[in-house]
Amino acid sequence: MVFPSIKGETVHALKDVNFTLKQGELLSVLGPSGCGKTTLLNITAGFLRPTSGKISLGGKEINGPGVERGMVFQQGALFEWLTVAENVNFGLRMKKEDPVETAQKVEEWLDIVGLKGFGNTPTYQLSGGMQQRVALARCLINNPDLILMDEPLGALDALTREKMQSLVLKIWKETGKTIILITHSVEEALLLGERLFVMAPRPGRIHKEYQLPFASMGLTEDLRAIKNNKEFVSTREEILTMIWDMEEEIMGKEN
């Protein structure tokens, strides 16, 4: 994926990125600014077309947005003038599905994400964490094959973020969905990704790949205890050093 820079030079947003995701896999992606994380997600969502190469889902090439992919954004991108239930039901209503059946599905998903009884609440009255629960329910009720998360927990306070991390793991386990999560948090990438890509910039590429046990551990163990796990701490420090060195290199080149 290439873009023209302000000075007219060619900038490779992504180059030689090649990987296959298994069904039901949870992949987390992180790296310094400008490494192509969001570009990768936008290409997968169908918002951008790659200038070379291709991306496929279930053997079918992605050429644009599709109902088989669901997106959860950092700020939720909710319709704040609608109620919680109306937001969650939006996709099904656009598909003109049976109102009685969709109302039942909405109640089921609100229960799953911990918002039972909030269906008639105006969305603007909810806290940030609760709005992200609505965003998750709105995505999942449409039963996408692939869920794309772009910094979905980045704007939350630490305690709410930890609770939402547990919810993401719970939903991943219970639904068996394939998830790609973009994050700037090394801890979050380690906690949620059973597979992790550390991206490097200029050009954006996969610098290192990790296979991790912590997402599976997080289904039954306390997340704070996992953060103190020796392997977790060691891997976190390794990745932090890796990203720090990348940032230093970028600053050196700019100067």
Question: 75-109 burial, b for 16+ CB within 10 Å, e for fewer?
Answer: ebebeeebbbbbbbbbbbeeeeeeeeebeebbbeb
Q: Model pTM?
A: 0.88
Give the residue from 56, 67, 69 showing the smallest Cα distance to 146: 69
What confidence tier does 76 reach under pLDDT thresholds 50, 70, 90? Answer: low
Mean local confidence (pLDDT), 50-62: 88
- Identify the band that residue 186 occupies on the pLDDT scale cut at 50, 70 and 90: very high
Phi, psi of 124 (to 5 degrees): -65, -15
pLDDT at residue 181, as a whole number: 95
Amino acid at the residue 211 = Q
Residue 227: pLDDT band by 50, 70, 90 thresholds? very high
Radius of gyration of the chain (CA): 19
DSSP sequence for 154-187: TTS-HHHHHHHHHHHHHHHHHH--EEEEE-S-HH
Domains of the chain: 17-35+67-254 (3.40.50.300)
* Confidence at residue 138, expressed as pLDDT on a 0 to 100 scale: 92
203 or 241, greater pLDDT: 241
| Closest of 184, 189, 186, 143 to residue 168, by C-alpha | 189
Higher pLDDT, 6 or 179: 179
Q: Give pLDDT, residue 241.
A: 95
What are the backbone angles phi and psi of residue 243, rounded to the nearest 5°?
A: -70, -40
Q: What pLDDT is recorded for position 239?
A: 96
Average pLDDT, the chain: 88
pLDDT given for residue 90 in this prediction: 87
Question: Which residues does residue 71 pair with via DSSP β-bridges, in sequence order?
Answer: 148
Question: Distance (Å, rounded) from C-alpha 217 to C-alpha 214?
Answer: 5
